[in-house]
Structure 1
Amino acid sequence: MILQLNGISKSYLGDPILSNITLKLERGDRMGLIGVNGAGKSTLLKIIAGDLPYDQGEIFMGKGVKVGYLKQDSGLQMEQTIWSEMLGVFTELLKVEQELRELEAQMSEPSLVHNPDKFEQIMTRYAGKADWFTQQGGYDIEPKIKSMLNGMGFGDIPNDTLIKKLSGGQKTRLALAKILLAQPDLLLLDEPTNHLDFETLNWLENYLRVYQGAILIISHDRYFLDALVHEIYEIERTKGTKYSGNYSQYVESKAKNRQLLEKKYSMQQQQIAKMEDYIQRNIAMATSSRSAKNKRKQLERVERIDQPQKDLKHAQMAFAMDKKSHKEVLKVRDLEISFKVENIQKTLLRNISFDLYRGDRVALIGPNGVGKSTLIKALLKEIEPDSGVVAWGHGVTIGYYDQEQATLDPDNSVLHEVWSAFPTIEEARVRTVLGNFLFTGEDVFKKVSSLSGGEKARVALAKLILQKANVLILDEPTNHLDLFSKEVLEEALLKFEGTLLSISHDRYFLNKLAGKMLELTPSNVTVFQGNYDDYVLRNIRN
């Protein structure tokens, strides 16, 4: 047994966050922890890691179990270099290595020639420490670190780079690399796939598939959950429910369980109504009073099924267009984009040519840093390319979703942020749309600056829907959304009759929506027909 939770409960200011959470993990288990934003997933990981106290219940950890916990905040030492931070995993081994060097120095002292007993003592100590050092992999420290850094996408970054100079995504990857290097018995991972490109995602999935310990993972990456986990633990309305299988199997199981429960509840209600009717009609009659009283005792013994709760309220989306665009939506020819670094002009992209046609569903893919978002800015005329042609077709209206939500004014209220963009629309219509995105009552007066990442994403999507554009350009649209909001967004985009161009690392999203993939490299763009799985299969064959 690696971990067992019995009846864990946690409240904040009297409001329950977690109620009677019970689960068990054995070595080799892979469990996905899911639930809407704010359900208590990260709270549960903090409790297991010992970072947060709990109100009730018991936690049992196997003897000597080592825990690795990846927080959303990396916890790295910003003044350290990449290499020194990784070496920190092997502090004990490095200490013994230093002791071995000191013992070697002692053994080489000329005075020991005349003191064989002391020499023997040093040799014995040296042999014991050397054996332990070898068994613990002391001679493999450097290759282990190099292999891990390469796998996590640091192969081209100098090892002496200071951590404070890394991007947010690089810090997340480095924190994950450090935890994996330590090879703990229990991995607690909170959104480990954020900021990972396809190559690193695939490497991580393969690494974790054969990992010897147990894994409890919070992730909104449905493709990742499908590839890795054997069980899903859902926290909903403070309580936990376990499902066997991966994410797709969970979706199917939950729907079947709900239908079965609703059917059982309905049948029991009909049975109870019949019994109550019989009792009421016969209780006062001399000939059937005794039978009615027996029926009443039977009714009292019935173990009543609770009425199934309605689904949690989720955002509602529908993308409409004011008008159709011309068949030829976009023509890009020989685009070249450069940027200046220390007064030196460096080329980022060149030879970029492709077309978009009405109704296309296109995904722009490529490694992190290749220039996908920069290309989008060039298409939107936000930056001027060095050369080439960007020609939009007739009747094109563009709606743009920025993953950073940089266009949102932090000082605006939610209502003012949306309404000010569409001042001719009546307030009731704006409030209706905001209500569809779960901003009701006083929520519409919240300042944008106070919103969570998921709430800001919903504000940006509300504005996009009101725009009624016939071309949607989406930069990482599923970031910050919980699993259920992602499903709603995808269903809405599937019904959208216009043209879709998206940047996304969400492989589940790409499989569902993309009909064409544009793979971007610094020197060209390659067009692949089909979705993400088709793209992977074609690359394997080639």
Structure 2
Amino acid sequence: MVRELIRLEGVHRAFGAVSVLDGINLRIDEGDRIGVVGHNGSGKTTLLRTISDQKQDVGDITFAPGLRIAYLTQIRDIDEYATLEEELNRRGHQFKELEEEIAAIETKMADPSFYEGDWQPVLDRYSELQALSARSGGTDVAGHAKNILNALDLGHHPLDMPLSKLSGGERAKVALARQLVGMGEIDVFFLDEPTNHLDLPTLEWLEKFLAKFQGSQLIVSHDRFFLDRICTHILEIHDGHTRGYAGNYTAYLQQKELFLQTLADRIDKCEKEIKRLTGALQSMKRANKYDKSISQKHQMLSRSQRELKWLKRLKPKERRGLQFNLQSTEKSSLDVLDFKQASLKFEGLNRPILNKVEIGVRRGQKIGIVGANGAGKTTLLRIINKEIQLDDGIIDVRPGVEIGYFHQDHRTLDFDLTPVEQVQKLKPRMDYGDIRAMLGQFQFTKEMVSTPLKKLSGGERARIAMLKLLLEENNMLLLDEPTNHLDTDAKEAL
């Protein structure tokens, strides 16, 4: 019989007046690999956090006894001021309760009165916890992670390298490596946008790792191909409610299309029945014909109206389409910029980031920059944006070039501000009504426009960063991982 690991019954979660999860029922069994999908801000991350922390407002969340959860968060939990070794030795989510229980028992054992009672069961539990800690890597997490570091192509970095010198993709790998330590002892793995920042070889390795992992998985992702290859079930969140589908992402799309078509047919049939019954009752009234069939028809009409109301509640609300209307200022010169013998090397790396690079950018070009994590893609953009100086050579940015930069970590935003305040900071003379209208075009509701960015999802932050580019009216865009965090509709609009 399949073991039940987690059960949610009637779970509600709200933030202020905004209801995010509304009566969620969910069961996670041993071996389930569930993909969680939905538009930006639908509550996917909130669902994972609510289950992990068991902090629902209403309803019940039940864990199997001794359940152990690992959680890779969407906003990577990384200390950029730490070294690689220090970060790997920092305990992941899955070790927290284990360490707390060990510490509590050790405190009891330090009290002489402890041994006056029945202490043997406590010592047995202590031995069990110590054995579990040892199997999970004990205190030598960095040593236990060596194979994972090599698999993630991080093994060539010295362990004393500061994380601040790693690329965004490499830091994402470090966060992943720290969670993967001791995975043999984990029952459920929560992954929130695990493919963000990862290069293709790492993504392929992660897919193989998760396919072999014996525990259950709850995965939030907008990567349909990743979900296709990994998931056995799909859970869609829409308007605070969930609907489950068996199979991978492709099967989900097929089933959803069938569901929506069947729903549309039933609504159409119900509306026609209401029209027929209403017409029949009106005809009987005009003919002054009253018999027992009138009561029956009234009952049938009332039943059909209730059914129509119920069916329409099942129909997903249509969202306003997202449009990125990026307008440039005056055109730049034909020659936009040139690298001439450009060289750069970072301390601690045994290779140059740039080695006598000669390349030019011309007006109208759309240039994709590809390469492995740590190859220097972000560094190249930061050089163009004058955030990093070359060691040798020059970069010649022509007069009249106005640069707009979309950082992969959205660092140009002030996370303490609300979306309205962020726009007002950039355009202080813009009318408040115009700001609200513009934010509405970017799918921000009246509740969201007054919520600090630090409380919004990654996709919502990305939309604000895109809006910032729109308002700046640049004629050259530097886009660093612009599709990270965006849902499918937003990606297509971009």
TM-score (norm 2): 0.71
Cα pair 1:231 1:243 within 8 Å, conserved: yes
Q: Residues 192 and 2 from structure 1, CA distance in 2 versus in 1: closer, same or farther, beyond 3 angstroms?
A: farther
1:68 CA displacement? 2.7
Q: Does the CA-based 8 Å contact 1:82-1:159 persist in structure 2?
A: no
Are 2:157 and 1:157 equivalent residues in the alignment?
A: yes
Aligned to 1:18: 21
Q: Call closer, same or farther: CA 1:248–1:426 in 2, change over 3 Å.
A: farther
Partner SS, residue 304 of structure 1: helix
Instruction: Note if contact 1:81-1:163 (Cα within 8 Å) is conserved in structure 2.
Output: no
Shift of residue 376, structure 1, vs aligned partner: 1.6
User: Which position in structure 1 is the counterpart of 2:120?
Assistant: none
For residues 380 and 165 of structure 2, what CA distance do their matches in structure 1 show? 24
Distance in 1 of aligned mates of 2:39 and 2:227: 16
In 2, Cα distance between the equivalents of 1:47 and 1:256? Answer: 31
Does the 8 Å contact 1:4/1:24 carry over to 2?
yes
Equivalent AA in structure 1 for residue 48 of structure 2: L
Match of 1:535 in 2: none
The reply to whether residue 304 of structure 1 matches residue 312 of structure 2 is no
**3-state DSSP class of the match of 2:36?**
strand
2:52 to 49, 53, 58: 49
Cα distance in 1, alignment partners of residues 136 and 477 from structure 2: 53
In structure 1, the partner of 2:177 is 177
Partner of 2:106: none
SS at match of 2:374: coil
Query: Structure 2 vs 1, CA of residues 158 and 355 (structure 1 numbering), >3 Å: closer, same or farther?
Result: closer
- CA deviations 1:383-410 (Å, max 9, x no partner) are 5535556566898664432334444466
Alignment of structure 1 residues 285-324 onto 2, 5 Å: 285=287, 289-302=291-304, 304-305=307-308, 306-307=311-312, 308-313=315-320, 315-321=322-328
Equivalent in the alignment of 1:413:
421
Alignment correspondent of 2:119: none
Q: Give deviations 1:485-504, integer Å, cap 9, x for gaps.
A: xx32x3344xxxxxxxxxxx
Q: Distance in 1 between matches of 2:58 and 2:354?
A: 55
- Retained in 2: the 8 A contact 1:2–1:185? no
Q: Deviations over 1:93-142 (max 9, x none)?
A: xx9xxxxxxxxxxxxxxxxxxxxxxxxxxxxxxxxx9xx99xx799xx99
For the residues of structure 2 that align with 1:25 and 1:413, how far apart are their CA atoms? 41
Shift of 1:155: 0.7
- Unpaired runs of 5+ residues, structure 2, are 103-127
Post-superposition shift, 1:283?
A: 4.1
Distance 1:325 1:230, change over 3 A: farther
Shift in Å, 1:362:
2.8
Q: Deviations over 1:349-382 (max 9, x none)?
A: 1132345556544321223333222212333455
User: What's the CA shift string for 1:397-436, capped at 9, x where partnerless?
Assistant: 644323344444667923422325xx6x877655543332
Please say if 1:363 is aligned against 2:368.
Answer: yes
1: CA distance, partners of 2:465 / 2:381: 17
3-state SS of paired residue (2:203): helix
The CA distance in 2 between the partners of 1:382 and 1:6, in whole Å, is: 48
Between the two structures, name the one with larger relative contact order (CA 8 Å, sep ≥ 6). 2
Partner deviation per Cα, 1:418-458 (whole Å, 9 max, x = no partner): 325xx6x8776555433322457697677778876555433
Matched residue, 1:336: 342
Distance 2:368 2:351 in 1: 26
Q: Is the 8 A contact 1:69 1:187 kept in 2?
A: yes
Q: CA deviation at 1:463?
A: 3.0
TM-score (norm: length of structure 1): 0.65
Q: CA contact under 8 A between 1:415 and 1:445: conserved in structure 2?
A: no
Aligned-residue RMSD, C-alpha: 4.9
| Displacement of 1:27 | 3.5
**Aligned with 1:483 (options 478, 482, 487):** 487
Identity of aligned residues (%): 32
Call closer, same or farther: CA 1:28–1:400 in 2, change over 3 Å: same
3-state SS of 1:413 partner: helix
Alignment of 1:22-171 (within 5 A): 22-53=25-56, 55-57=58-60, 59=62, 61=64, 65-71=67-73, 74=77, 81=86, 145-159=145-159
Q: Distance in 2 between matches of 1:272 and 1:400?
A: 56
